[in-house]
Each structure stands twice: as C-alpha cells, then as structure tokens.
Structure 1
Amino acid sequence: MNLVVVSNRVARAKANEPMTGGLAAALLPVVEKSGAVWVGSSGHVREGSHKDPFAEIQPLGAGALALLDLPAAHYGGYYEGFANSALWPALHSRPDLISVSHDDYQSYREVNAFMARALLRFCEKETAFWVQDYHFLALGAELRDLGVRRPIGFFLHTPWPSRSIICSVPHHRELIEAMLAYDLIGFQTKDDCANFASYLKSDLGYEVRGGVVTSPYGKSQLAAFPIGIDVEGFAAQAARAVLHPDVSRLRKSLHGERLAIGVDRVDYSKGLANRIAAFDRLYELQPSLKRSVSLLQIATPSRGNIEAYCNLQDKLARMVTDVNGRHGEVDWMPIRYLNKGFSQTVLSGFYRSAQVGVVTPMHDGMNLVAKEYVAAQNPADPGVLVLSKFAGAANELTSALIVNPHDIEGMARTIAQALAMPAPERRLRWEAMMTTLRAGNIQHWFASFIRALEQAHRDGPETDGENWTARKRVPPSSGSVIQLRTASNALH
C-alpha cells in the first residue's frame, strides 16, 4: 500500500523548532518511518489558479512531505471561518461561540475540493488516503466525486459532541452525509463514536450495526482508535533534555522549589482560566505552599484573528497579573506565564523537571500533553498527573488524579494532594500509566488504523459499484507518484 496522509498542519523533523500542534507532533515519528507521503498546507496562500498547487515536496524519513499553498480567496473562510469558528467550538461543546457565514461554509467546501484535486497527483492503483481531523470532513466525498475508488480513511482528533450540539453547526446534515464517503471513520473514544452513531440514526435514519453504517456511498466502518505517543522515544528524549540549556536554567531558577507545569495553546477548550483560578485558590487554602511551589504555564498564542481567542488572551493575562500581584513576593512569583512555544526536546525536559503535570481541559479529544508528561518522568522519582475527566486520556490514564475542571476548589485540593503524595504511591501510579501508554503507543495506533482501513475497504462496495457518483477524473501529473513501502508493516 502507498499511503498518503492528509492534514491541515504538518510537522518538519527539526528538533530545535516548536511543533505546530498536537496532531503534527503525534504523526511525525510514525509518518517518518512508514514511508508515507504527508500532504498539508505550506502555511502560505496563493492568488489565482496555478497548474501545480504544490509549493514544495521534500524527503521526510522514508517518505515525503508535500506542501501546498491553499487558495487565498477561500483560506480565511475555510480556516478562521467555518473550521475554527463553527466546527471547533461545536466539537468542543461551545455552540455559544459559533459565528459563521454561508460564505465561510462555501470556502470550506472549496478548500476541501481543492485539496482533493491536488491529491490526484498521488493516486495510483495501490494508494490509500488517510485524512486527519475536522478541517477535511468533506474531503472523502470530494475524492469520490473525482472518481477515486481507493481506500479512504478519516480520523477525528477532537471530541465528537452530542447530537443537540452538532446540530447547531450550519449545514451539519450535508457535512455528515459527506463523511460517509470514508471507508473508515475513526474517533478518539467510544463515547465519541456513540455520539456520531446517535446522530446518524436520529437525523439521517441510518442504523449502525456491528460498527458499520450503510449509506448511498456504501458501507462505512465506525471505530475508536485512541491515539498514543512514541513512549520510549519521548522518555529517552526527556532523560537527555535535562542537559539542555533552557532546562538547566529552569532547574537552577527553582532553588529547590517544586514545580507544576501546564502546556497548552491559548484556547477556551483547554481550561486555562479555571486552572489559574485553582492555583489562586490553592494558595488561599494552603498559604504554606507559597514560595514552595509555582506553576509554569506555557500558553502558545493561537488563532489570533478570531475574537474569542483575543478575548481569552487578554483575560488570562489579567488573571495571571492579579494572582501574581496578590500572592507573589519581590523574589518569587506563583505563576510563570509564557506566551511562546518550545521544541519537543525542551518541553520533554520541562516535564521531567515538574513534580505535577496539570492537564485540565474542559473538553479534549485525547490531550497528548498528559501522555507526554507521564512518559517524561524519572522512574525513580516520578511526578503526579492531575487530569481532567473530560480529556480522552482520562479513559486510559486512570491512575492519574482525575478532576472536574469546573470545580475550582476541587482542583486546588487535588493539586495539594499531588504535592503531598509519597514516593511509593507516585511510583505505583506512574508504572500503571506507563504500562497503558506502552500498550497503546503511536505505532500501535497507526498500524491498527491502517489494518482496519484495509479491512473496511475490502468489506465495502465493489470499486466499480453503482453507489458512487463520479465525475471524470483529472489525470495525475506524470512521473509524480512516490513509491512507498507498505505502511502497516513498516512500523514493525
């Protein structure tokens, strides 16, 4: 199989550069080894029509990274508009923040169609496509309309909400019908999968039997594939990273003080305001912890052209100033708040330096920071993970201290519990979580999805069946197909 992975964001294998997001960081190690072509946005837009939309194709491990410039006329409506002002808030159960126009939806569909046409360059007899995340819900349908009969899978990295919430998205019915063009639709958790199946039954009249739904496109398999990380690779990186200059400076600056850490994009789904409020309450409940423990909160700016994000950025800055002003001293601040990103190497060293990892999103598909924090720990003296019950990772990391991010006082008391936890209990909890992480690592996730996609395609309609509504296919560029190794075998 020649695998083509498609996402809005991509990652380059540059150890000293900040990653562009959790999806990119997760995919990089397995895409490098699998020999896949990874297709995504270059981060630039292009005016007018060009014969070749690809700005750059370069080697990436055993495969390639293919970057394309998205159309300028539609990028804003696609990305800042429909994807992140309609789909993102709905998928994270914030329908009150939906703000979108009909033109935004049209731009979203135009970019999905543009990507489909670009992907024909890589479509050969043995090609399979694996589409990532909410930016491309309709991409499978666009590929089918262009005559593509090859396996097409989709994986959603965010949660999938209840029917009542997803129905608040304009054009929800049209979009979800388009998703059924995928042979396999993967979710982070069984709850997400059940929510999707519930919508199919209630709004589209499709029954899901044995994880399979039949629609005019044919059969689609629904399943949960909890994403993992490169556990051993991240652990080894963290052990080395303690010697990195940035990590060394952090450790020296603590002067024996304990550290809690949070690493997030500035996003309303991440629960940052409640986390800051919980630390404020912690110092009120236990004044003796002042000068004894501080929070390092790395909050990378995100989507600054969207009003909700600008407002949140301002709110968080005010909250940090207030907490530091009331609890701080001339030579000590309770919250170290940084609005910038760090490389995976540096982050791994920061995680290993922190006695408490605080991962408290309001809603999150998985949250790989939780898994990275655990993997980064010193086995002889591991830290404690405080984890939101609304992160997908809470279904797996049951030995973490699970909290309700809406309960400020409860979070404060749980953080205090983490700080007071004796070493034997910390080691037992850490070992249990590491066993889980190793069993469901990124290699397992990648290989299991590919196997399921191959099976789902075999069980689906015949490639020349009458269920597909196909337009005339645009021929791929000559000599452009990159031959790849079989992805499901290359990771073993």
Structure 2
Amino acid sequence: MAAPDMIECVPKHRELMKSMLEYDLLGFQTNRDLNNFLACLRTHFGLASKDGVVATERGQTRLQRFPIGIDPKQFADYLAADLSPAEQEKISLLLKNFEGSKFAIGVDRLHYTKGIDKRAEAFNHLLAAEPGSISLLQIAPSSRADVEEYQKYKEDVENAINHVNAEHGTDGWRPIHYTNDSFSQAALARLYRAAHVSVVTPLRDGMNLVAKEYVAAQDPKNPGVLILSKFAGAAEDFNEDEALLVDPNHPEEIADAISKAANMPLEERVKRWGSMMDKIESYTIHDWPADYLRELDKSRVTVPADQFHHLGLGWTNEAHMPLYHNYTAALTAYNDIDPAAAALKEAAYADVKSAFEALAVPLKHTQDRLWDLPVPTASRDGTRGPELGAREE
C-alpha cells in the first residue's frame, strides 16, 4: 500500500480506498502497508483509527496484518519430485557452470521494483575487491514485455550484467549467468538448494516468497545464507540474526553482505537457517487463510434460528449491528416475564422498543431498507407480542 503522497498517482484512488472500507476486515501483508493505509485515510478522508478499527457511516472496518507463508512440506516434496527429461537436462547444464565454485541465486520477475540492476552493480563492486570469489545465477522471466518502460528496464539490466561479465569474466569463468526462462517449482527448489547464497533485494515488495522458498529448500546440515532487502515484506518476519538485511539502493552494502554470506562459518549458517525455518513452519500458507477467517468470525454475531426472522438480508454482521445483543437481551427479558405481571410486561416492552430503536439508528444510514418484522400476532396466552413494525426509509 502506497504512502499518502504516492497513492495520489493511482487513478481513482479515493474510490479505491472507499471501496476497501466496505469490508469488515482488511488484511495487509506488512505493518508498513497497514500503516500507509491508515495514513492515507487520515490524509484524504480525515478518518482516524482506534485499536486498528476505522468507523464510517457504513460501519466498522478492522485492519490487521496477515503475512502470507509457504508450504514447507510441499517444498520438501518438490526436492524429491522427478523432473521432466528436458527440465532435468536444463538444470544440469545450468549447474555445470558453477561446479567447484560458489554461486548466489536471484529469482525475480523482470520488473523495475526488483532491483536487479543494483544487484549487478553490487557484484561489480564485490568482484573488483575479491576477483572470482562468487558468481550469480539471475533468473528473470520477462514482465509486461509490450510496455516501453519495461523494455527499457530490460535493456538496463542486460547492459549492467554485460558490463560485469566484460569487466571481471575470464575465458573459463563468467560472473553472472542470466536467463529469462521460467522454471517449475521443483526445478527452482533444486537450484535454491545448490546456491550458497540467495540475493533477494527488491527496492520495495509486499512479501517476496522467494526468500521463504529459498530457506525451505536448504540442506539443514549445510544451509545457504539469505540476503534480504529491508524493504521486502519478508524482512518483517526475519530479523538481523537470521537474514542479512540490506538497503537495496546501496550496491556497496549488498556487496559486503554477499562477501559475508559466502564466507560465513557453518555453525552460524545453521543457526540462522534454523531460526528462519522455525518461523516458516510455525505459520504456513495453510495458517494464513485460517487465521484470516478466524479473525473475520470475530466480526460476526450468531443469530438463533427463532430470531432470524427479525433480521433483514445481510444484517448478520456485528460491526453493522453493535447493539444487536442489547436488543436480544431485552427481548429475552420480556419473554421471561409472567404474562400475568402486566406492569412488568409493559415496562419490559418499553425496553425492547428502546433497544430496537437504538439498533435501527446506525442501520438507516447504511442501507435504505432495514428489515421486515412479522405481523404482530397474539401469543398462546392471548397477549400480543412486541409491535415493532416493518420500517423502510
């Protein structure tokens, strides 16, 4: 989610934010995105939040962070899965380029937010200081190739990579191997495991699951090291004792991290990897939707079958009917009074009517029609039930 000054670049941004507030629960990948959205609401609508809740005429919208995960068990299955003969040959040919040497891997869409050009510049710095120390496998499937700006970025990336290869390559060694091919998850899992370092350095990213996939694919006895942009959503999950966090706008910082990762002792690598893997396994892709739905259920009110006819279509959400429980409590109290106690029955009916009217006030601002109540009928004891007639605005 963009900051207030950036959201204005999005066409119909006000309509977009208004439509988001039609929901009872909004989930964001990162705290940064959540806070940006709150800042946008303050700036563009003058709306404030309290405890992660924004109140509008429609009702209440809760905002919460739900960081998406992966399925680590599935990634283990990928590593054991058979590849097609063509893909197996493709992977084998790629890995032959790195036999007997260390290499880092980058897997990104060819998109200007991914910082691939800065990554190439980082390798230029690193290899100037440590010639031949490590190479890079950069996988970057094309993104929106028909858009001129993306074509220009593709040229910039290729020029940066060609410069590094020309400057630091030898007859028998190429610093950066670059491909726009796509790979299956099973093939990527093998490449992740073979790579000594993963360089995930987007300039800005919602989450970047490549970081988590790389960790899940590692050999527990000899894991690689994750280098991660501070501005990737995954950086909110992994701290500095786990991943090597860098500013992707500074190639020299990335270069230092690659050097540190390539020379990191096994004991430290295992410790960092184990901590990240614990987090990945404790909150998987399966926990993500379950957590969201669990939170969404907290916004709902359970309506007994014998009360359902009192509600109009759609009004089963507690955020829209915060006073529903008051009404049902008053109605229960009314029904529990002995019909012979006429004065008590009349006073209780007044409470029911008052609770109903309080309940109706916020509803009539959000929906033209409230609900239709059944036509009052005599009860078995001959008295009439509460006459809270149908109302339409």
Structure 1 length-normalised TM? 0.60
* Aligned sequence identity (%): 43
Q: State whether structure 2 residue 212 is matched by structure 1 residue 368.
A: no
Question: 1:447 maps to what in 2?
Answer: 290
- Measure how far apart 1:245 and its partner are: 4.0
Taking the aligned partners of 1:401 and 1:241, their CA distance within structure 2 comes to: 32
Taking the aligned partners of 1:340 and 1:470, their CA distance within structure 2 comes to: 55
Counterpart AA for 1:229: I
Moved more, 410-419 or 436-445: 436-445
Question: 2:153 maps to what in 1?
Answer: 312
Counterpart AA for 1:258: K
Counterpart AA for 1:403: V
Taking the aligned partners of 1:467 and 1:299, their CA distance within structure 2 comes to: 51
Taking the aligned partners of 2:299 and 2:190, their CA distance within structure 1 comes to: 41
C-alpha contact (below 8 Å) 1:186/1:224 kept by paired residues: yes
Q: Secondary structure at the match of 1:456?
A: coil
Q: State whether structure 2 residue 124 is matched by structure 1 residue 265.
A: no
Alignment of 1:31-42 (within 5 A): none
Counterpart AA for 1:264: D
Give the gaps of 5 or more residues in structure 2: 301-316, 325-359, 370-393
Q: State whether structure 2 residue 218 is matched by structure 1 residue 386.
A: no
1:172 pairs, out of 13, 34, 37, with: 13
Alignment of 1:178-193 (within 5 A): 178-193=19-34
C-alpha contact (below 8 Å) 1:352/1:376 kept by paired residues: yes
Give the gaps of 5 or more residues in structure 1: 1-159, 472-492
Structure 1 residues 210 and 247: CA distance shift in structure 2, 3 A = same
Alignment of 1:87-486 (within 5 A): 160-240=1-81, 244-287=88-131, 290=132, 292-398=133-239, 399-457=242-300, 458-462=317-321, 465-468=363-366
Q: Secondary structure at the match of 2:64?
A: strand
Taking the aligned partners of 1:382 and 1:241, their CA distance within structure 2 comes to: 22
Structure 1 residues 214 and 404: CA distance shift in structure 2, 3 A = same
Taking the aligned partners of 2:77 and 2:90, their CA distance within structure 1 comes to: 18
Taking the aligned partners of 2:365 and 2:260, their CA distance within structure 1 comes to: 58
Q: Secondary structure at the match of 1:265?
A: coil
- Measure how far apart 1:469 and its partner are: 5.3
Taking the aligned partners of 1:381 and 1:446, their CA distance within structure 2 comes to: 32
Taking the aligned partners of 1:240 and 1:198, their CA distance within structure 2 comes to: 46
- Measure how far apart 1:246 and its partner are: 3.6
C-alpha contact (below 8 Å) 2:83/2:186 kept by paired residues: no
Q: Secondary structure at the match of 1:170?
A: coil
Question: 2:357 maps to what in 1?
Answer: none
Deviations 1:315-360, CA, capped at 9 Å, x for gaps: 1111111211121122221111001211111111110110000000
Taking the aligned partners of 1:259 and 1:414, their CA distance within structure 2 comes to: 14
- Measure how far apart 1:194 and its partner are: 1.4
Structure 1 residues 435 and 242: CA distance shift in structure 2, 3 A = farther
- Measure how far apart 1:430 and its partner are: 0.2
Structure 1 residues 466 and 248: CA distance shift in structure 2, 3 A = farther
Deviations 1:450-485, CA, capped at 9 Å, x for gaps: 1112323543215994454589xxxxxxxxxxxxxx
Taking the aligned partners of 1:437 and 1:451, their CA distance within structure 2 comes to: 20
Taking the aligned partners of 2:179 and 2:96, their CA distance within structure 1 comes to: 18
Deviations 1:156-189, CA, capped at 9 Å, x for gaps: xxxx122122133332222211211112111011
C-alpha contact (below 8 Å) 2:103/2:195 kept by paired residues: yes
Taking the aligned partners of 1:470 and 1:333, their CA distance within structure 2 comes to: 69
C-alpha contact (below 8 Å) 2:228/2:235 kept by paired residues: yes
Taking the aligned partners of 2:77 and 2:274, their CA distance within structure 1 comes to: 16
The answer to which structure, 1 or 2, has the higher relative contact order (CA under 8 A, 6+ apart) is: 1
C-alpha contact (below 8 Å) 1:362/1:390 kept by paired residues: yes
Q: Secondary structure at the match of 2:223?
A: coil
- Measure how far apart 1:300 and its partner are: 0.7
Taking the aligned partners of 2:79 and 2:244, their CA distance within structure 1 comes to: 22
| Superposed CA RMSD | 2.1
Question: 2:328 maps to what in 1?
Answer: none
Taking the aligned partners of 2:89 and 2:271, their CA distance within structure 1 comes to: 31
Q: Secondary structure at the match of 2:140?
A: strand
